[in-house]
Structure 1
Amino acid sequence: MSVLLQLARNARGILLVALATSLISGFGNAGLVALINQALGASRTRLGELGLQFLVLGVVVLLTRTLSQTLFMYLGQRAKATLRMRTIHRIGEASYRHLEQQGAARSISVLTGDLDQIVMFFVSMPALAMQGAVISGCLIYLGYLSWQILLFALLTICIGAVGFRIANGRALFHLRASRRREDDLVKHFRALFDGAKELKLHRERRQTFIADTLATNVEAVRVQRTRGYVLYAAAASWGSFILLAFIGITVFVLARLYPVSLHVASGYAMVFLYMIMPIEALLSAIPSVSSARVALERIEQINADLPVERADAATDAVASSFTSIALDGATHRYFREKENEVFTLGPIDLSFRPGEIVYLIGGNGSGKTTLAKMLVGLYKPESGHIRLNGNTVDEGAWDIYRQHFSVVFSDFFLFDSLLGMRDANLDDKAHDYLKHLQLDHKVSIKDAAFSTLDLSQGQRKRLALLVAYLEDRPFYVFDEWAADQDPLFRDVFYQQLLPELKAKGKTVLVITHDDRYFHLADRYVKLDYGQIVEAGAGAELTAH
């Protein structure tokens, strides 16, 4: 709940006004009951005075209630936006490896569903404050009528609170469990779209996925959510039962033990009846508070699982050309689910210099993409070092190190605009590259935004290459870039585009299986089961 307390401190003034207006509205409602009770036994002259007081107090209640609801709604949306941006920044500043381990499902559910629970908490706050004030005001009025009755009322509230706490604790347990299950549901919902082709082409797979995987998880969430809310309903029913028992004992037992006037007895009855609805409203608002508590716990857990990657102040600098990049005994390990084993890449000893083309070859699963991710700083070596210009890249320098690379991975992602690029002639440069990559008939660029991304995979890769060109970094990495290109453009890539980058002094690492073009590499590196097994000149590889 520390996040909520921090938000409350940041909006202390508005929160205090919202709470004050809620309390005024609640106590005003209790005051209206007291005025009605007084009016029942008042003279004609007194009625006019009481009526004026009733009108003024009614207007005050209406205005304060409206203001309170408006302010709490504003605070709810502000809290949602603040928490959403806080989580987004945390995701953006976390290491790539932590992001991979976390997966997208949990973060997406937090950024959507859980944050809506926070808004609902703030929406219910006026009711909680107002109904609490109404109940407090009624209890004060009861004490004014009879202190013995007030003591009995407080004892009854304590008994009710114990029973409510027990049921509420169990309900909270089921809510937490169902929220964890919803993370799996989000993942399966994404698979329903991402795997649509495979599901359509295999009827039994589709039926099994829907009937077993999805239906099972949907039912599990339904059962646990239902148990949670049934327990909340039981807690609310317990509260109502205790109140009715209190009314019955007071009217039929205590009234005989402590004889009271007709005016006081009617006051009891009116206050008791009036308190039923505020108490039920207060109890029905409790689930939203518990849901918000669960949501806040999940948000804090997400942030705890994504530690911020430390960056030195120097990371604000722009990456410059390098004289050397070297991997010195660098290793990386990760678990492969399909093979049910830990895969170890390295130790890798490898160096690069400006203005060379290096081919990285090897079979599928040999660790080529993992090596590329470690080279560009997405994975930090678990042992060994990466050196830039002879200096070890330490914990605070990874961000500036990564800015030396432009990469197009095989599972690349295209944004719909050229984000983060500041150049007065950006559109013109981009248009020239569109022509060079034979995309000008498909895509146009205006105000740094692409007209469309609805392209074939090969064309999208060319667009990703265009983005890499415009980044103009000293080191380029292409992971199976040519795999989706037609034979003509594949030839253009190896024989024109790569030599052009080399002529500009760029270092290029190409992960490839295209043995027809091996002779164009300045040198090659071959991986097998995470180890470098061969290295040499490209011409030697072709001859071999």
Structure 2
Amino acid sequence: MQKNYIYKLIIIFLLSAIYSGIGILILFFINRYIMTLQSPDYMVLIYFMLILILFFSYTLLMRVLVANINNNIIYELRTKFVLRILNSDLQTIIINKKSKILASLSKDITNISNGFMRLSDTLQGSLFVFISFFYFFYLSKELFVFIFIWFCLITIGAFYFIKKAHLEYKKARENEDILYNDYEVLLEGFKELSLNEKRANSFLNTFYQNANEQKLTSSKAEIYGNLSGNYLNNMMLGGIGMIIYLALGLGISDLKTAATMAISMMFLRAPFMMSIFSIPSVVLAIISIKKVKELKLISFDKIDFSKSSQAIKWSEIELRDISFSYGENLVLDRVNLKIKKGESIFLIGKNGSGKSTLFLILCGLLRADSGEIYIDNEILDEKNIKEFQNSISVVFSDFYLFKEILNSNEKSINYWIEILKMKDKVKVILKNEKLHFSSINLSLGQRKRVALIQALLEKRDFLMMDEFAADQDPEFRKYFYNEILNLLKEKGISIFAISHDDKYFDKSDKVYKIKNGKLELIKQATWR
């Protein structure tokens, strides 16, 4: 745990200690002054009311301070988790799967947040009970022994139920990952499920089974949690009765002391129950922290996104002996490639040949198992990766289209809308003082054009495209290769594109083919 969090927990501990001290002061005042009254004494009443006002005011102040501390911790947890995702490489995201990360973003962060919120209750209640034991010892050593044993029995019993609840909560959390995976299948495979009743029925049967398992484990966890609460409540009430019985029935103590200790037990009932009831939330938080750690996301402080890196200036990019494997499957085998400034390069290959993997390595999203990338004879590493990526604009085959336009120059935006023949499809609108595209509810080919507009508005000198023209109509495809590529070259933009349009290979400077993890340069005349 970071030092910052430890300091905040120390503050909560000290606040709870003062709270407990004032609570004991109230009990002491009742025992010393109110229970010894022989006649009306209004000053005692006034002092008692003042102590109560002090207790109420301090409790209110403490709640405000603790709420601020807790919510600051929650804010930091959420923002740092998002930063850790942004800092992680693509391979980490692929390994963890989207469903697991979504489950952590929604469920685990909530659990950790609730755990921190309830941790102050645990500290406050536990500390109050602990300090109260000294007061019980001061009142009656004999009754103190009984109370101490009684509280031990309460704690043992409550923790038995909490342990059972913990095991069920852990199972329930495992089932959350499975359910999130089902949700992902439902949304991403919606069209296929809608058109195939047999597949939809199979999916539903699996989902019902997983959802039922989640229901059973969650129900058991809640039942055990409630049992711990009911057990604790009954034992606290039983303890009050036992104190009176021991004092009056067995003569262990006088009525005044017994009454004071009984009142103290009643006073302790709320904070002690609050402390015990908060433990399941803390337990859930611990489980969720372990889940987040299992993701093995890179530390949040790796990159400071508030500071914009400068784009690197380059004249040549060289890949030397790049190899990459997914598990035992070798995808790239000692690939060598040179890209000079201003060149347009096409990459071809069969499905699964490693095209997209090479593409992702080149733009710095995947890290090669061996080999190096050189930018003008300087190795590309953690020190300059962001500068290099700031010189690249990319249109992925599985791109995500943002409505917000980062470039605020409307003239430039409208220019590219016109060039890419999207004038009749999208407009530039102002929303929340930011420029947006009027709509992204378009065909796949048109959405790709908008994604290319976004990339070109970044005004970077290296454009990478993965199968951009694959979803374009024949007329626009011809226009793209004959007109737009020439325009981009005139503007000094280097191009690296995955393409299968052999009809237009003459529009590139070089064509490379990847096969069995090997990369080779294809002569244009040979290709034809």
TM-score (norm 1): 0.86
Q: Which residue is 1:68 aligned to?
A: 62
Q: Which residue is 2:39 aligned to?
A: 44
User: 1:393 and 1:127 mapped to 2: Cα distance?
Assistant: 50
**Once the two structures are superposed, what CA deviation does each residue of 1:339-381 show, in whole Å capped at 9, x if it has no partner?**
xx62422221221212222221122222211111122222222
Deviation at 1:90? 1.4
User: 2:8 and 2:154 mapped to 1: Cα distance?
Assistant: 35
| Structure 2 residue 26 is matched with structure 1 residue 6 | no
**Once the two structures are superposed, what CA deviation does each residue of 1:376-430 show, in whole Å capped at 9, x if it has no partner?**
22222212222222333244333333333221111011222234x5xxx622211
Q: Which residue is 1:323 aligned to?
A: 315
Picking from 168, 178, 190, the partner of 1:196 is 190
| Structure 2 residue 522 is matched with structure 1 residue 536 | yes
1:156-171 alignment to 2 at 5 Å?
A: 156-171=150-165
Q: Which residue is 2:358 aligned to?
A: 371
Q: Which residue is 2:403 aligned to?
A: 416
| Structure 2 residue 358 is matched with structure 1 residue 361 | no
1:325-364 alignment to 2 at 5 Å?
A: 325-335=317-327, 342-364=329-351
Contact 1:28–1:61, Cα closer than 8 Å, also in 2: no
Q: Which residue is 1:338 aligned to?
A: none
| Structure 2 residue 418 is matched with structure 1 residue 426 | no
**CA shift in 2, pair 1:343/1:11, >3 Å:** same
| Structure 2 residue 137 is matched with structure 1 residue 143 | yes
Contact 1:347–1:531, Cα closer than 8 Å, also in 2: yes
Q: One-letter code of the match for 2:93? A: L
**CA shift in 2, pair 1:487/1:288, >3 Å:** same
Deviates more, 1:275-284 or 1:507-516: 275-284
Contact 1:320–1:404, Cα closer than 8 Å, also in 2: yes
Q: One-letter code of the match for 1:206? A: A
Q: Which residue is 1:181 aligned to?
A: 175
**Once the two structures are superposed, what CA deviation does each residue of 1:23-67 show, in whole Å capped at 9, x if it has no partner?**
3564466457647xx646622333x23322332223223222222
Q: Helix, strand or coil for the counterpart of 2:335?
A: strand
Contact 1:405–1:473, Cα closer than 8 Å, also in 2: yes
User: 1:50 and 1:241 mapped to 2: Cα distance?
Assistant: 34
User: 1:79 and 1:485 mapped to 2: Cα distance?
Assistant: 49
Which segments of 5 or more consecutive residues in structure 1 lack a partner in the other structure? 336-340
Picking from 121, 124, 133, the partner of 2:115 is 121
Contact 1:310–1:396, Cα closer than 8 Å, also in 2: no
Q: Which residue is 1:229 aligned to?
A: 222
**Once the two structures are superposed, what CA deviation does each residue of 1:129-183 show, in whole Å capped at 9, x if it has no partner?**
5544654565455334322111221232234334444443343233233223212
Q: CA RMSD in A?
A: 3.1
Q: One-letter code of the match for 1:432? A: Y
Q: One-letter code of the match for 1:233? A: N
Q: One-letter code of the match for 2:321? A: G
**CA shift in 2, pair 1:311/1:392, >3 Å:** farther
1:458-497 alignment to 2 at 5 Å?
A: 458-497=445-484
Deviation at 1:97? 1.6
Q: One-letter code of the match for 1:333? A: S
Contact 2:246–2:252, Cα closer than 8 Å, also in 1: no
Deviation at 1:515? 2.3
**CA shift in 2, pair 1:520/1:309, >3 Å:** farther
Q: Helix, strand or coil for the counterpart of 2:384?
A: helix
Q: How many residues align?
A: 523
Which segments of 5 or more consecutive residues in structure 2 lack a partner in the other structure? none
**CA shift in 2, pair 1:41/1:321, >3 Å:** closer
User: 2:9 and 2:234 mapped to 1: Cα distance?
Assistant: 39
Contact 2:333–2:518, Cα closer than 8 Å, also in 1: yes
| Structure 2 residue 86 is matched with structure 1 residue 92 | yes
**CA shift in 2, pair 1:281/1:509, >3 Å:** closer
Deviates more, 1:276-285 or 1:428-437: 276-285
User: 2:157 and 2:243 mapped to 1: Cα distance?
Assistant: 21
Q: One-letter code of the match for 2:447? A: R
User: 1:311 and 1:146 mapped to 2: Cα distance?
Assistant: 61
**CA shift in 2, pair 1:25/1:465, >3 Å:** farther
Contact 1:26–1:131, Cα closer than 8 Å, also in 2: no
Contact 1:417–1:449, Cα closer than 8 Å, also in 2: yes
Q: One-letter code of the match for 1:325? A: I
User: 1:129 and 1:29 mapped to 2: Cα distance?
Assistant: 20
Q: Helix, strand or coil for the counterpart of 1:44?
A: coil
Contact 1:345–1:371, Cα closer than 8 Å, also in 2: yes
Deviation at 1:471? 2.0
User: 2:268 and 2:13 mapped to 1: Cα distance?
Assistant: 25
Contact 1:416–1:449, Cα closer than 8 Å, also in 2: yes
Contact 1:21–1:67, Cα closer than 8 Å, also in 2: no
1:247-326 alignment to 2 at 5 Å?
A: 247=240, 249-253=242-246, 255-302=248-295, 304-306=296-298, 318-326=310-318
User: 2:55 and 2:312 mapped to 1: Cα distance?
Assistant: 66
Q: Helix, strand or coil for the counterpart of 1:45?
A: coil
Deviates more, 1:106-115 or 1:498-507: 106-115
Q: One-letter code of the match for 1:219? A: N
User: 1:40 and 1:317 mapped to 2: Cα distance?
Assistant: 72
Picking from 398, 417, 424, the partner of 1:441 is 424
Deviates more, 1:427-436 or 1:56-65: 56-65
User: 1:307 and 1:141 mapped to 2: Cα distance?
Assistant: 47
Deviation at 1:309? 9.6
Deviates more, 1:129-138 or 1:326-335: 129-138
Q: One-letter code of the match for 2:289? A: L
Identity within the alignment, %: 25
**CA shift in 2, pair 1:311/1:262, >3 Å:** closer
Q: One-letter code of the match for 2:224? A: L
Q: Which residue is 2:20 aligned to?
A: 23
